[in-house]
Structure 1
Amino acid sequence: MGHLPVDVRASLRLFAYYLANGTIDVDLLDGVDYRPALFQFGSPLEQVFAIYCNVLQVDANGEVLNEADAQYRVAQWIRAYCDQSYQVEPPFQAWETELHGP
């Protein structure tokens, strides 16, 4: 069994760092401290990682093509989760929020 490409692992590591640090898309989430809402229970955090991984695109060489787009879609979900007046545009498609695995 192979490993995830290095570029994908680096992207996931940085995403986790920004998420835990409170710095995911600072423009969209300015003034929103999402960490208590996401980290208190596992389900919101699980959804965040599902969206990130579902949106992330990788080329044939294993290089990440759209890291900023994946982070932005997560930021939109976080904003909507923390601020119910926020409208996600474009709305999420089912494949973006799908949870995979057991």
Structure 2
Amino acid sequence: MAIDAATVRKVARLARIAEPEARIEPLARELSGIMDWIEQLAEVDIEGVEPMTSAVSQPAPLRDDVVTEGGDPERVLANAPRRAGDFFVVPKVVE
């Protein structure tokens, strides 16, 4: 698929990208090359190939789901900018 200078100008205008006129022709050639490569990918036979979600097939490491008391409040709140007792104090965001 060949992309011409008019198409590059139109896409640049729609994307609100200011592209200098001297860059339009090289950009059209570059985008045409990318589109040619994409068309080559369409020719690959993928019949029977399962989709991949990762390049490495490994299960995600999981930890045991254990109920705790929440740890030590003094340690958790040690770096809090403001606190009230065992709670964080945050600015009110909802009226």
For the aligned pair, the TM-score class normalised by the smaller chain equals under 0.3
TM-score for the superposition, normalised by structure 2? 0.26
Which is richer in helix?
1
Which is richer in strand?
2
TM-score for the superposition, normalised by structure 1? 0.25
For the pair shown, which has the larger CA radius of gyration, 1 or 2? 2
